[in-house]
Amino acid sequence: MCGITGWSSFHQDLRRQAPVIEAMTATMALRGPDAGGVWLTRHAALGHRRLSVIDIEGGAQPMADRPDHPQVVLTYSGEVYNHHHLRTELAGRGHRFTTRSDTEVVLRAYLEWGDGMVDRLEGMYAFAVWDERRRGQERLLLVRDRLGVKPLYWTPVDGGLAFGSEPKALFAHPEVIPTVDADGLRHAYGLLFDTGPTVWAGVREVAPGGMLVLDRAGVRERCYWELTARPHTDGLAATRERVAELVGGAARAQTEADVPLCSLLSGGLDSTVVTALVADELRLRQGPDTRLRSYAVDYSDQAERFTGDVLRTGHDTPFAIEAGAHIGTEHSTVILDPRALLDPEHRRAVVVARDSPIGVGDMDTSLYLLFGEIRRHSTVALSGEAADEVFGGYPWFHRPEALAAPTFPWLLVTGDEAAMPIHPDLAAALRIGEFHEDTYRTALAAVPHLPDETPAEHRLREVQHFSLTRWLRQLLHRKDRLSMAQGLEVRVPYCDHRLVEYAFNTPWVMKSHDGREKSLLRDAGHGLAPDSVLWRPKNHYPATHHAAYNAGLQALARAALDAPYVRDIADEAVVKATLDTPADQLQWGHRLRLERVVDLALWLDHHRPVLAV
């Protein structure tokens, strides 16, 4: 895993712009703490920061097709899990490899198959290829993986574009001024998680499953993968077998690393199945005494103070310990003092990592600290992210009122109480209600359907499509940014595109055949997870319930109101009403409101954006 950046312009000679590409690359140092490099030619400059995972000695980047007078150069982030198979095929076609890295496989796959190589890649990745083999037809290619696990941003500049793993890389370019307009705030605070537009004016994401080409004719984007509706012809027994095969294959394929590897084990079904599969694979490869490290997070007050809320039904730690013992992992629970989550430096680091004012407060800070602790022992971690979207784990898949509501289901979870309180004048300009309605219509039109679907299947396909193409993407952003800010690579087996395609087209009567959510994953988990975990209700990432944290947060939010421009964006009256609530009575939704005000102040202070609202 790494950080990439670059710049292409057909209006100037970039060979004299080394300080610019070096500055852009330096912003990615946390993503790639092990090494860095830049490469320049007349119309392109590429930068790379490396987190060494596979072929420590041989995977330096940017990587060129030849040592002398290179014509094709790659800067690449991610992992291609089928690189051994592709290497064998390419070697059979005459390619000679000088490293063991998957980076070289991606480069030579492009040399062999051109843009069509994207259809052969299995994994998580974002990369750029500069190709100047044909004089006058030079081109830059940007590619992002199918589910959008790895981020990739771009923005126009004179004669071309700049790109990077994170927006901060773009802001190191002298032409790119961090600017926020009404559209940006609408996308940030609308919580609809569009792919493409960002909070930053003029900065866009390359779409998941998308590619972009820049040449002298301009910029062209196209989609090389998207969810499609297909008839499901397998019976229940064959479906259960196929799901177990796909889940197992994805987890096992993602265990390769030349550095220490571990698993995130919360004590839920999703992470327990992944951890068990990875542990079995490592024992098979390295010997029966091999013990996988696993990690969970908890708070020092949680055992005594746990209080259920709209997202959480129980305390994770006992289940994680039981699962670790069942699987045979070397399990650790990282215990955080809730008051440490108030540390201004931790909170600032999280906001800087996100490049966005929108997060989930203490849950972001605790995840960042968890990843920092894990990084002391491991460089790669596997996660159970995406299982709820793939297998229908969220309550909104099963509650009639959520399915009947003509809106995105996550907007119903906490209601307006957790939304950022927008200043009335700004709210009138943003018209977020209209934005929700317009975006919802657009999202509905993008859902593929089969002609013979029942009304129930029709609606459930829509809700799952929303979950996979919108809700999941902000979870993947969160995990990428906070892990990479600690130099930790997190892999997500449930984002295997073959598994996603198969599950998306599996009838819901099969997805809930045992009367519960995630029936097919539970089937796959039999024998891997203890019964207590197999049948445990869905539980979200833990949050602290400590009154001292609530009081400290109220103090931070009160100070944030005095920061420049915060009162122009936030509704001071609503915030102050929440500040007056006794700390021990502050509900999670109202607390999240305060978290967003604090993050807004930190974001404005760090980025100093031009506010064009």
H helix intervals, 11-129: 18-26, 83-92, 102-113
- Report whether 36 contacts 49 (CB < 8 A): yes
Number of DSSP helices (H) and strands (E) in the chain, helices first: 25, 19
Note if 262 is an active site residue.
Answer: no
Residue 434 dihedral angles phi and psi, to the nearest 5°: -65, -40
Element (H, E) at 322: helix 317-327
Pairwise CA distance, residues 613 & 603, whole Å: 16
Q: Which amino acid is at 444?
A: L
Say which DSSP state 42 is in: T
Tokens of 101: 């890295």
- Report whether 305 contacts 321 (CB < 8 A): no
Q: DSSP secondary structure string, 188-255? A: HHH----SSB-SSTT-EEPPTTEEEEEETTEEEEEES-----------HHHHHHHHHHHHHHHHHHTT
Pairwise CA distance, residues 536 & 532, whole Å: 6
| Torsion angle of C-alpha atoms 531, 532, 534, 540, degrees rounded to 10 | -170
| Residue of 2, 223, 262, 495 with catalytic role | 2
Tokens of 215: 């040449």
The full 3-state SS of 264-302, as one line of letters, equals ECCCCHHHHHHHHHHHHHHHHHHCCCCCCEEEEEEECCH
* Backbone conformation region of residue 530, classed left if phi is above 0, alpha if psi is from -120 to 50, else beta: beta
Pairwise CA distance, residues 524 & 516, whole Å: 14
Q: What is the largest CA-CA distance in the chain?
A: 72
Pairwise CA distance, residues 193 & 545, whole Å: 28
Tokens of 189: 């605070």
- Report whether 383 contacts 261 (CB < 8 A): no
E strand intervals along 284-440: 293-299, 330-336, 380-382
Pairwise CA distance, residues 458 & 125, whole Å: 32
- Report whether 389 contacts 270 (CB < 8 A): no
Q: Which amino acid is at 378?
A: S
Gyration radius of the chain over CA positions: 24
Give the 3-state secondary structure of residue 139.
strand
Pairwise CA distance, residues 24 & 6, whole Å: 8
Pairwise CA distance, residues 126 & 142, whole Å: 7
* Backbone conformation region of residue 421, classed left if phi is above 0, alpha if psi is from -120 to 50, else beta: beta
Q: DSSP secondary structure string, 59-105? A: --SSEESSSSS-SEEEEEEEEETTHHHHHHHHHHTT---S-S-HHHH
Say which DSSP state 27 is in: T
Pairwise CA distance, residues 379 & 51, whole Å: 9
Q: Return the active site residues.
A: 2
